[in-house]
Amino acid sequence: MNEDELQTIASHRNAFPHITPLITDWRAHEDQGGDAFHAVKETAAILTATDQLIPLRYKHADATDPKVIAWVDEVVTNAERARVSGGAKGGPGPSLLLLGPTGTGKTHQGYGALRRLSVIGVNTAAAAAPIADIYAKMRPRPGVDSETVFESYAQAPLLFVDDLGAAKESEWVEEVTTRLVNYRYDRSMPTIFTSNVPPKQLGEKIGERVASRLTELCRVVVLKGTDRRLAGRAA
């Protein structure tokens, strides 16, 4: 086992002393017929990749909302089930829709959930971006294959789409959102969505078909409270 990889795993796990990873003892894992060498490699790679996805402001975010933690637990259970049955990593399951006014901590909870999953050891490659960045990267222009960009998000085993409904609406924007949500919906691929559009206006803002799918696909969590940025509680 590579010392650097073990060090990477230890440093990430130390930040979450209250969380129990799926594999805690590599020797016991081997004794039970597992391949510790590859498990260490894979675990360290997932932790590093997830860390690189997280913007500086949310580097230390943790999911603290009980409903978000319950969703993380569901994803872990489904990932374990998929692994045992020899299926794809990650496994199908519910998604998460974080709603609430500006500054209530939706993005914080979203990245916190991604960090928790990586530390627990759900071996699933993630992608994350504000939806406006996904549109921007997909904008048809010379040298860019919009479909490849779309697939890099749509096909990610775990996806975090931040700020749904925040971009200026157009037919093209609505089409991309519909295709993305539909792709995840058809395959029950775990996705975290956030939006600060009030629940009753979601359909009007992002399209009734998208809102309808989201409602069926997601555990919905509404964060309440004041804007943490204005309250001076934000760093």
Binding site for Mg ion (CB under 5 A): 107
Residue 234 binds ligand ATP (CB under 6 A): yes
With contact defined as beta carbons under 8 Å apart, do 137 and 149 qualify? yes
User: Closest approach of Cβ 80 to ligand ATP, in Å?
Assistant: 27
Residue 165 binds ligand ATP (CB under 6 A): no
Nearer to Mg ion, 40 or 131 (CB): 131
Which residue in 90, 91, 93, 103 binds ligand ATP (CB under 6 A)?
Answer: 103
With contact defined as beta carbons under 8 Å apart, do 220 and 99 qualify? yes
Residue 226 binds ligand ATP (CB under 6 A): no
Total count of residues recorded for the chain = 235
Which residue in 7, 31, 37, 57 binds ligand ATP (CB under 6 A)?
Answer: 57
Which residue in 8, 78, 95, 104 binds ligand ATP (CB under 6 A)?
Answer: 104
Which residue in 107, 124, 177, 191 binds ligand ATP (CB under 6 A)?
Answer: 107
Distance, first Cα to last Cα, the chain: 38
CA distances from 178 to 16, 55, 106 (A): 36, 26, 22
> Torsions phi, psi of 41, nearest 5?
-60, -50
**Following DSSP, what letter does each residue of 122-160 receive, concatenated?**
----EEEEEHHHHHHHHS--TT--HHHHHHHHHT-SEEE
User: Closest approach of Cβ 130 to ligand ATP, in Å?
Assistant: 8
Residue numbers at the binding site for ligand ATP (CB under 6 A):
57, 64, 100, 102-108, 163, 196, 228-229, 234
